[in-house]
Amino acid sequence: MRNIKFFDTTLRDGEQSAGVNLNLQEKLEIARQLERLRVDIIEAGFPASSKGDFAAVKQIAETIRTCSVTGLSRSVRSDIDAAWEALKGGAEPRLHLFIATSPIHMVHKLRMTPEQVIDAAVEAVKYAKRFFPIVQWSAEDACRSERPFLAKIVAEVIKAGASVINIPDTVGYITPKEYGEIFLYLQNNVPNIEKVSLSAHCHDDLGMAVVNSLAAIEHGATQVECTINGIGERAGNAALEEIAVALHIRKDYYQVETRLNLQEIKRTSNLVSKLTGVVVPPNKAVVGKNAFAHESGIHQDGVLKEKTTYEIISPELVGVPSNSMVLGKHSGRHALRNRVEELGYTLSEEEINQLFVRFKELADKKKDITDDDLVALIFEEKFDHFNEFYQLSSIQVQYGTNQIPTAVVVLKDGKGNEIQEAATGAGSVEALYNTLERCFQTAVTLLDYRIESVGGGRDALAQVFVKVRVNDVETSGRGTAQDVLEASAKAYIHAMNRAVMIEAMRGENEKVATT
């Protein structure tokens, strides 16, 4: 059986989703989880695009030992140099070079002739090969490129030393049949094609990213590029979990193998959704909340008698927990640590101690502490206070049906100053956010506000997600507390802290790549 490699680009293409900005700590946690999922390659970012991306790619390359870590690079020496600096500490450094090959892109974006594009591509691959053992080359907008030209440039970059050729459907335009034909065309028209492996990279603008990726596999591709939950530019990328489970469940048809550990799928999906703030729709294949729920009476009856009557995927296959363990007031540090490890999180001794304090506080107010509660606490401990500039000291909000809602907030900033402000609003949350905006002394536009409870029960934790724009930075934040107003304040401050960090880490080329 052929082996299919999974190239995960959640941290590069996925992170290009509108409003998604992950910090270093969050990217590292996702990379660790991808390693547990046993993807083959992790695309950790675009090192030349910003200081933040560079630092994250470097740290991930130095941390991850059992996957190849790669970074994106334009076909220019300065990008390749930055990528090498970031990736050289990796277990298997790999460069992902790209250049556009479609007439539209060559004329309007690159302003280069086809011959100049070939020269630039060849020169970049040769230069990259001086450093990198593995160079992957991508033809941006390959699917709208002229096939003879595509074959010609692919032959040239293989000669120059590329060992993986990626054929992205950058704009999500292709159909499965046509995509398969491009792979066949290259295999029939590029003389040295057997020296390389072929890779698919699909976008979901027409809802065909997964099926296009599968078509590529059927027509000779041995690598697929995808993201967890299908997040990414515009309508997103091909969803890793859907391709992986399709290949597994229909092994009889596809006749291929992967090295993935499918049982880590659900956990990876949850982690990415929580950290990016991108919600998984309940009806989403494989990882949606309802993916394994049988509602109709006839179906329920069938499943009770024999699971396989209506269930082709078992929840256990993708690691959906069957029983959720509950901790309580009397659970000790040891039980807590065990559970945290079982949930797949790596916490330092100090973080465990902090978490234990928070856990005890919560256990005083809430009878059962579920896995979801614990994950919410871990997030607060590990990610939400990472590198924060503003810290919440206290809030006070007054609300009455015949009163003007008023809020008072005390914050500490990164320079040790105490900031105290008060303001009113039409509602409690507005009063709170008006007050916080005064504290920040910057106009903040609230683009989205979402509140949900962590599990059921009147004593459940509240979790608030916000999306904001600060100057020209769009970012998100989350906050968890038993009180909805406190959770709201924390989410807003979290988003503001991210905005401060993004501003500080900015480079000139922020988010310029679209491959």
Question: Which of 178, 112, 96, 191 has its CA nearest to residue 142?
Answer: 178
Choose, by CB under 5 A, the member of 8, 13, 40, 169 that binds Zn ion: 13
CB of 40 to Zn ion, least distance (A): 18
CB of 139 to Zn ion, least distance (A): 12
What is the Rg, in whole angstroms, of the alpha carbon atoms belonging to the chain?
25
Bridge partners, 134 (sequence order): 94
Rounded Cα distance, 270 and 91, in Å: 27
Question: By CB under 5 A, which span of 11-19, 75-83, 84-92, 250-258 interacts with Zn ion?
Answer: 11-19
Element (H, E) at 68: strand 68-74
* Separation of alpha carbons 363 and 353, rounded Å: 15
CB of 338 to Zn ion, least distance (A): 40
Measure the CA angle with vertex 47, ends 30 and 16; round to 5°.
55
Of 225 and 264, the one with the shorter C-beta distance to Zn ion is 225
11 vs 318 by CB, closer to Zn ion: 11
Question: Residue 200 or 429: which CB sits closer to Zn ion?
Answer: 200
Minimal distance, residue 129 CB to Zn ion, in Å: 24
Angstrom distance (rounded) from CA 44 to CA 46: 7
CB 253 to Zn ion: min, Å = 27
From residue 46, give the alpha-carbon distance in Å to each of 70, 138, 453, 473: 9, 14, 36, 19
Query: In the range 46-75, which residues lie near Zn ion by CB under 5 A?
Result: none
Helical residues (DSSP H) of 4-48, grouped into ranges: 24-37
User: 14 or 47: whose CB is closer to Zn ion?
Assistant: 14
Instruction: Specify the residue, 17 or 435, whose C-beta has the smaller distance to Zn ion.
Output: 17
Rounded Cα distance, 513 and 105, in Å = 13
The piece of 6-14, 179-187, 238-246, 366-374 that touches Zn ion (CB under 5 A) is: 6-14
Q: Which residues, listed in sequence order, are joined to residue 256 by a DSSP beta bridge?
A: 2
Query: Is 204 near Zn ion (CB under 5 A)?
Result: no
The answer to whether the CB of 259 falls within 8 A of the CB of 3 is: yes
Nearer to Zn ion, 13 or 26 (CB): 13
Locate 107 and state its tokens: 């004329």
Quote the distance between the C-alpha of residue 432 and its chain's center: 30
Task: Scan residues 253-312 and list those touching Zn ion (CB under 5 A).
Answer: none
CA dist 93 and 134 (Å) reads 7
Kindly tell me which of 230 and 405 has the beta carbon lying closer to Zn ion: 230
Write down the least CB distance from residue 205 to Zn ion, Å.
11
Does position 43 interact with Zn ion (CB under 5 A)? The reply is no
Choose the binding region for Zn ion from 13-21, 37-45, 239-247, 359-367 (rule: CB under 5 A). 13-21
Whole-angstrom Cα distance, residue 431 to residue 444? 14
Minimum separation from the CB atom of position 39 to Zn ion (A): 16
Q: Which stretch binds Zn ion (CB under 5 A): 10-18, 188-196, 270-278, 318-326?
A: 10-18
CB of 170 to Zn ion, least distance (A): 6
* Of 72 and 462, CB closest to Zn ion: 72
Residues lying near Zn ion in the complex (CB under 5 A):
13
